[in-house]
Structure 1
Amino acid sequence: MGHDMIAVLTHSPLFGNIEAESLASVLGCLQPKISAYPKNNYIALAGDEFAGLGIVLAGKATVIKENAAGSRIVMTSLEAGDIFGEMIAFSTLSAWPVSVIAQAESTVMFLPAVKIMGTCPNVCSSHKQLITNMLRILSEKAILLNRKVEYLSIRGMREKISSYLLDQHRQTARKTFTLTLNRNDLADFLNVSRTALSREMGRMRDEGLIDFYRSSVKITDLDTLKKVIE
């Protein structure tokens, strides 16, 4: 495995607090499968057999949920080091409930769930750390999904946008930050139309609440933005 991939894995939350020198031993236990995907191709397709916990080694991807009518909701975006499939890896499901699409040429590593939680033949401390990391990731994802439900329960367009931007402000501790979702994906994430989202963000900019350029957003009136969701 190349040094670039090792560098990505050492920064992945799944391998947190595991030294780079120990990764080779851990990966030997996990027996991963690595695959490459062209841009706009499915990495995983809802209904297909579950292939294991995925880690993006290079590129970008989006996790989406599609209904019978073809409408989609963006669940999250993924970059190098991010994982997906963790919520179903240890469930009784045998098929992907969501789809994952490569937004750029991507390389993905798949890890069998049974290997992650199984007993390491070397009884190494690094594998114990891996299990601890996995449990932390699942807890944090549950919190994130609860927040997603909160976004969907908010009725007003401005209230949805304000709540999302304030969350980004709290996470980054900055008034200027870069959105991880593009405008289309953000609209899907908030379950609104892209046109309505752009129009409302434009109004908020005209009123001096925010400013933005492409994916960069600046909160210019934090107090008023907070009042929107009160």
Structure 2
Amino acid sequence: MRPGAKALHNKLSLFIDFEDNDVDALDSLIDAAHQRIPRGNDIVTEGESHTLGYVILDGWAASCKTLPDGRRQILSFLMPGDIVGLFAPVSAVCTASVATLNDVEVATFTPDELVTVTSRSPRLGVALGWAAAREHEILAEHLVNVGRRSAAERVAHLFLELWARLRVRGLTDGKRFTIPVTQTIIADTLGLSVVHVNRTLRQLSNQGILESNREKATILDLDRLQDLAGFSEDFLLNHYAPRTLRRRVDSLDGTRTDPGAGTGRRTKDRHATTS
């Protein structure tokens, strides 16, 4: 399984367990046409038609909006296991650009293909809905960063978010992680000057809290970094689906939660009868 495909599976499995047919449905989405997009190019461009969806298999991208004078606001980061244009048909045109931060490999899918795989796998459809809600919550935290947090709090919160997102996908080495994010990109994300970002990163390093060098970052003191940022992972929605929702999904595809197997394990109910 490709790293990006495994990352997507790991991310979605936080919310709900998959049966074999769900894995097959997800694989059919990922095994579609692949495309390599070099660094510095748009996956989608603001104002242009939005006809395809993309699964990030390798590399990083950033969703951003650019003002007429060239100033840029980065809205969010996309890493292996993330999806661009999950609900492409909702908008006739892209409302933001998604630009590659390094060389990116994507799997493309059409809205029709998405409808087909989610109709085969209600559990996958629910998991993708959860992923969309998660992106909304991440964007809300970025708004709080820009609007209310201090420079040190913003930087600390962003690095903790990226580390947490990479960790659940199996893409970190303990508290060390790789991010293709320059100080200019951080500045465009947090509404700070590059000078302010540089000064803040040096302060965090001198305090023995966070070290960032080129594309490598290491959390030196997790507790202090979390305290500084006021960080909680609640906004990442890293929790299991409520039992009522799992039961409803099970009823749609002929599975049931096995009460003897423990939370999250499912078995096919081959002897189900209509009550």
TM-score (norm 2): 0.63
Structure 1 segments unaligned to the other structure (5+ residues) = none
Q: Is the 8 A contact 2:177 2:218 kept in 1?
A: yes
Deviations 1:138-179 (A, max 9, x none): 121121111111111125212322333455677659993426
Shift of 1:229: 5.5
Equivalent residue, structure 1, for 2:135? 141
Q: Is the 8 A contact 1:162 1:226 kept in 2?
A: no
Match of 2:123 among 129, 144, 147: 129
SS of the residue corresponding to residue 12 of structure 1 reads: helix
Equivalent residue, structure 2, for 1:154? 148
- Give runs of aligned pairs for residues 38-57 of structure 1, distance below 5 A: 38-57=38-57
RMSD: 3.8
Shift of 1:119: 8.1
User: Identity of counterpart residues, as a percentage?
Assistant: 15
Match of 1:106 among 101, 104, 107: 104
Q: Is the 8 A contact 2:154 2:229 kept in 1?
A: no
Shift of 1:62: 2.5
* Residues 180 and 75 of structure 1, relative CA distance in 2, 3 Å threshold: farther
Question: Would you identify which runs of 4 or more consecutive aligned residues in structure 1 move more than 6 Å?
Answer: none
Equivalent residue, structure 2, for 1:180? 179
For residues 52 and 151 of structure 1, what CA distance do their matches in structure 2 show? 31
* Residues 222 and 138 of structure 1, relative CA distance in 2, 3 Å threshold: same
Number of residue-to-residue matches in the alignment: 219
For residues 20 and 105 of structure 1, what CA distance do their matches in structure 2 show? 32
Match of 2:8 among 12, 20, 26: 12
For residues 224 and 27 of structure 1, what CA distance do their matches in structure 2 show? 40
Shift of 1:84: 1.5
The worse-fitting range, judged by mean Cα deviation, of 137-146 and 157-166 is 157-166
Equivalent residue, structure 2, for 1:66? 66
Q: Is the 8 A contact 2:75 2:189 kept in 1?
A: yes
For residues 11 and 207 of structure 1, what CA distance do their matches in structure 2 show? 33
Deviations 1:47-83 (A, max 9, x none): 1110222112333322222122211122233333321
Equivalent residue, structure 2, for 1:75? 75
Shift of 1:198: 0.8
Shift of 1:224: 8.0
* Residues 90 and 139 of structure 1, relative CA distance in 2, 3 Å threshold: farther
Q: Is the 8 A contact 1:208 1:221 kept in 2?
A: no
* Residues 165 and 106 of structure 1, relative CA distance in 2, 3 Å threshold: closer
For residues 157 and 57 of structure 1, what CA distance do their matches in structure 2 show? 32
Shift of 1:217: 2.8
For residues 98 and 108 of structure 2, what CA distance do their matches in structure 1 show? 13
Shift of 1:134: 1.3
TM-score (norm 1): 0.73
For residues 154 and 193 of structure 1, what CA distance do their matches in structure 2 show? 16
